[in-house]
């Protein structure tokens, strides 16, 4: 069974830093574990071009932005992630964000865009169905970095991101993002419990991201040790 780990959380939660630590941790294991890392948008020629475009979003409507994210996402899964999962039954994929971020930022953060809100669930279900059909033995693990708004604001104000895509740093926007994440994972867990989730097997893991980096890394390593044995 291949394991696909999707690291999620608001800006400043520390997930991107931890992914690098996890990749190194996997390389150091006695039994070699095939592993790739991915980011969205990115990971393919088309995805990286879209990433550059989305860094300078002037004149791009919310619907166009939404479509670009999903186009890059499907390209990444079809060209890189699914082939890797099919060829490496014990492989691990590490994602720095995926479709939960689209819901949190574009549905929750933006709010009021009916096209995006109505389309998001449909596109997510389509992707999950494709994953189940093409890589039925895969398991998706969502690793959600839980963090409060005050900590997000404090960390945001103390750093400068050279490759920041998010264009909305207002406190009210970040508050809506956090709330949307909570709604997303609460519904997902409800669907998992009821056996009504679409796609392959899915598991939600929570990480307390308010503590220091070393403690966060240890929490994530514990998750991987439990999952991978």
pTM of the model: 0.92
CA angle 66-71-4, nearest 5°? 100
Q: Which residues of the chain have pLDDT under 50?
A: 162, 166
Q: Which pLDDT belongs to residue 162?
A: 47
Q: Does domain 3-228 have CATH number 3.40.50.300?
A: yes
What is the domain partition of the chain in residue ranges?
3-228
Pairing of strands 3-8, 35-39: unpaired
| CA distances from residue 144 to 5, 15, 138, 208, 218 in whole angstroms, order as listed | 10, 9, 19, 9, 15
Per-residue pLDDT, 157: 78
User: Of 173, 149, 57, 38, which Cα lies nearest the Cα of 97?
Assistant: 38
Handedness of CA 9, 155, 15, 99 (dihedral sign): positive
CB burial of residue 118 (10 Å; 0-12, 13-18, 19+): exposed
């Amino acid at each position: 069974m291949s394991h696909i780990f999707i690291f999620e959380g608001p800006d400043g939660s520390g997930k991107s830093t931890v992914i690098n630590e996890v990749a190194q941790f996997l390389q150091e294991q006695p039994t070699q574990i095939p592993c790739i890392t991915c980011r969205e948008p990115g990971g393919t020629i088309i995805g990286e071009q879209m990433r550059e475009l989305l860094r300078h979003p002037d004149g791009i409507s919310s619907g166009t932005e939404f479509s670009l994210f999903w186009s890059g996402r499907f390209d990444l899964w079809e060209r890189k992630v699914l082939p890797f999962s099919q060829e490496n039954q014990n492989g691990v994929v590490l994602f720095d964000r995926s479709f939960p971020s689209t819901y949190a930022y574009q549905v929750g953060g933006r709010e009021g865009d009916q096209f995006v809100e109505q389309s998001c669930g449909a596109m997510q279900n389509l992707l999950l169905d494709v994953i189940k059909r093409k890589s039925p033995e895969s398991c998706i693990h969502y690793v959600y970095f839980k963090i409060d708004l005050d900590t997000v604001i404090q960390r945001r104000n103390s750093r400068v991101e050279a490759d920041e895509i998010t264009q909305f740093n207002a406190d009210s926007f970040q508050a809506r993002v956090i709330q949307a994440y909570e709604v997303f994972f609460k519904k997902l867990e409800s669907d998992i419990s009821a056996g009504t989730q679409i796609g392959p097997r899915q598991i939600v893991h929570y990480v307390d991201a308010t503590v220091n980096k070393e403690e966060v890394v240890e929490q994530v390593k514990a998750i991987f040790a439990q999952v991978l044995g």
